[in-house]
Structure 1
């Protein structure tokens, strides 16, 4: 797999995660230290004008990694970023997909991917775009593995 070339426009996904339940938000809050009651208390969410507590943005972004690894393994994720656009409510499903935005013709060079997370509607269609991200990735073994293979 080392030296795989990426093609601009090459797509991955969609991969669905969920439904994301209140227990997932509690576990994430405990692990991350982000115990903002907006995410954990329906009354606080309602007071903020939301129908239900929203899934943490970084929890949504964390789903990019397993979606990328499901598409291509081994893969090095060199950089990952996201902008959070719309909340996904507790009980919702998050659909991750993306495509290659920039690639080099040289084998082993990183590629830039655009990654999207949508809430999924009850009928299975994509809902609102919840997060838009970028991932800089490289196919093949990690540098440590490449060095060990050279021995």
Structure 2
């Protein structure tokens, strides 16, 4: 029976930006903020571009509105990522180990902090802490799948 095989590789350009704040905790926090902030802003840029193309018109007001949304979304997700990376690194330093438990604890603390900063009720803060822990732990385990 005939069979076929496709093989290939995709190499993407890699951009590394190093910002030295003089402290490993701050370095990682700022790095997380910048990387995920750009992702959040890019998401909004793609959505707004789609809406402009679908609507068939681009105006100065729409571009200005899109830039505002990009900044807001980028800042929000950058902040969440920065807090998470900082919390995970803090857990690593406090515990003296590098394992999945740091991700779980960092995710729980991040979920609780972001939720509490949003003036949510106590039950919502607890649910967000559990959700943050679950997502961070799952992401950590997915890193080990080959």
Give TM-score scaled by structure 1 length: 0.28
TM-score of the two chains, using structure 2 as the length reference: 0.28
Higher relative contact order (CA 8 A, sep 6+): 1
Which structure shows the bigger proportion of residues in helix conformation? 2
Higher fraction of strand = 1
